[in-house]
Amino acid sequence: MKRPIAHIAGTGRYAPAQVLTNQDWEARLDTSDQWIRDRSGIAERRVADDRETIAYMASEASKPALAEAGLTPADVDAIVLATASWDRLLPSQACDVQAVLGAKNAAAFDVGAACSGFLYATNVAEGLIATAQAETVLVIGAERLTRIMDWEDRSTAILFGDGVGVAVLRPAPGDGRGILSTYMKSDGTLGDLLYRPGGGTVAPPSEQLLADRSQYIRMAGREVFKSAVRSMADACDHALQRAGLSGDDVDLLIPHQANIRIIEATAKHASIPMSKVYVNVDRYGNTSAASIPIALDEGIREGRITAGMMILLVAFGGGFTWASAAVRW
Ligand code: ACO
């Protein structure tokens, strides 16, 4: 087991006030509350309004995270932001957050790894701290998926929601607390199972693109589901093994919140009872890169995460990508 290099010194989250329930979807699409609950575990999700850009939401979520760490925006050395639903394609989303937050001394850039993005960004932030490039890194998972999903496609629209979670990474205090292990993996050959076909340089905006609705997320749900179960299990195994731990040592598993059935399968694989699993997919749906840091912040505010606990974070997403981290809190 390595000595922790970095630890999480503060967290924050932003959830838009507007709630979209399964009953709201029943009124719009050929679906039912029962189907959505049974297949995904989702009851409601949040929807950002026009004012709630990612730059705005991420800036709002960063303020309490920095305050908890006893820092100000001027103290931030780097912003590493994970998203799949940028406010705009250029410049990076992280630079727009930097401007709104006023983190004038920071380097800022994005990480693209879909739902695994927050854990990928955490890995990058840990590396910046390890190489003394930075002492304070804002790691942000931020999504406004309701703007890139197809509101007429019942097989995807009912899954997604908006929100932001933030963690402030700092050098580990040296008392054993911090990030004990990390793991990242990808399989780009499966990219077309979960993707946005249009809008990039290969298929730039055109009338045809809009007619095909190919600016929106497309997903082969059943195939993604199977890979997610397999990959989340692999991610659990690697983070635990690298930290010299087993499922019995885990006090709280915080999995990516995509589907309650994937979460249950992951917990079962790692021999972690559901009483030690954080679940909020029912209230937020799938917020992709934001789901783990939102859950982390909620867990702390609710008192479910306390000093000394062993936390296992596990994610899977488009790419395909998967990742994990074991953290001594
Ligand atoms: N309401 C009612 N019926 C529906 C709906 C709906 N909203 N959506 C699909 N159906 C129908 C389908 O048409 C299909 O009907 P058929 O059997 O007559 O063809 C039937 O329900 C079953 O569809 P499946 O897609 O096979 O349903 P499944 O049990 O796989 O559940 C789901 C679908 C919830 C999408 C699941 O596959 C899933 O969660 N997949 C993984 C998603 C995921 O984890 N994504 C993570 C990454 S996301 C990211 O990176 C941004």
Over residues 262-281, the pLDDT tens digits come to 999 999 999 999 999 999 99
12 shares a domain with 158: yes
199 shares a domain with 107: no
Please write the tens of the pLDDT for every residue from 223-255.
Answer: 999 999 999 999 999 999 999 999 999 999 999
Q: Which residues line ligand 1 (CB under 6 A)?
A: 31, 35, 39-40, 84, 114-115, 154-155, 158-159, 194, 221-222, 224-225, 228, 258-259, 262, 286, 288, 317-318
155 shares a domain with 230: no
| Domain of residue 270, residue span | 178-328
Q: What is the pLDDT of residue 294?
A: 98
Angle (CA) 260 261 264, round 5°: 85
Residues in the chain: 329
| Mean pLDDT value across residues 167-172 | 98
146 shares a domain with 279: no
The CATH number of the domain holding residue 241 is: 3.40.47.10
Q: Which atom of ligand 1 is least distant from the CA of 32?
A: 1
Say whether pLDDT at 283 is over 70. Answer: yes
Judge whether 300 and 11 are in contact, CB under 8 Å: yes
Secondary structure letter of residue 4 according to DSSP: P
213 shares a domain with 288: yes
Do the domain assignments include residue 1?
no
User: Which of these three, 143, 171, 199, is where a domain ends?
Assistant: 171
Catalytic residues: 115, 256, 286
**Helix axis angle, 260-269 to 33-40, nearest 10°:** 20
> By alpha-carbon position, which residue is closest to atom 44 of ligand 1?
258
144 shares a domain with 30: yes
273 shares a domain with 295: yes
Nearest CA to 288 among 155, 182, 111, 162? 162
Q: Which atom of ligand 1 is least distant from the CA of 155?
A: 8
Say whether pLDDT at 1 is over 90. Answer: no
159 shares a domain with 182: no
Name the burial class of residue 211, with classes exposed (0-12), middle (13-18) and buried (19+) by CB atoms within 10 angstroms of its CB: exposed
Q: What is the pLDDT of residue 2?
A: 73
Do the domain assignments include residue 311?
yes
126 shares a domain with 259: no
User: Which of these three, 123, 150, 171, is where a domain ends?
Assistant: 171
Cα–Cα distances in angstroms (integers) from residue 103 to residues 74, 75, 119, 164, 248, in the given order: 5, 7, 22, 18, 41
319 shares a domain with 182: yes
Query: Distance (Å, rounded) from C-alpha 117 to C-alpha 15?
Result: 18
What is the 3 state secondary structure string of 17-44? CCEEEHHHHHHHCCCCHHHHHHHHCCCE
Q: What is the pLDDT of residue 103?
A: 98
Give the largest Cα separation in the chain, rounded.
Answer: 59
Query: Distance (Å, rounded) from C-alpha 47 to C-alpha 39?
Result: 21
Q: What is the pLDDT of residue 58?
A: 98
Do the domain assignments include residue 44?
yes
pLDDT band at 162; cut points 50, 70, 90 = very high
Mean predicted lDDT score pLDDT of the chain: 98
Q: How many domains does the chain have?
A: 2
103 shares a domain with 10: yes
Q: Which atom of ligand 1 is least distant from the CA of 258?
A: 44
139 shares a domain with 97: yes
Do the domain assignments include residue 70?
yes
Going from the Cα of 221 to the center of ligand 1, the distance in angstroms, rounded, reads 5
Please write the tens of the pLDDT for every residue from 28-49.
Answer: 999 999 999 999 999 999 999 9
User: Which of these three, 171, 197, 228, is where a domain ends?
Assistant: 171
> By alpha-carbon position, which residue is closest to atom 29 of ligand 1?
39
Please write the tens of the pLDDT for every residue from 136-146.
Answer: 999 999 999 99
> By alpha-carbon position, which residue is closest to atom 8 of ligand 1?
155
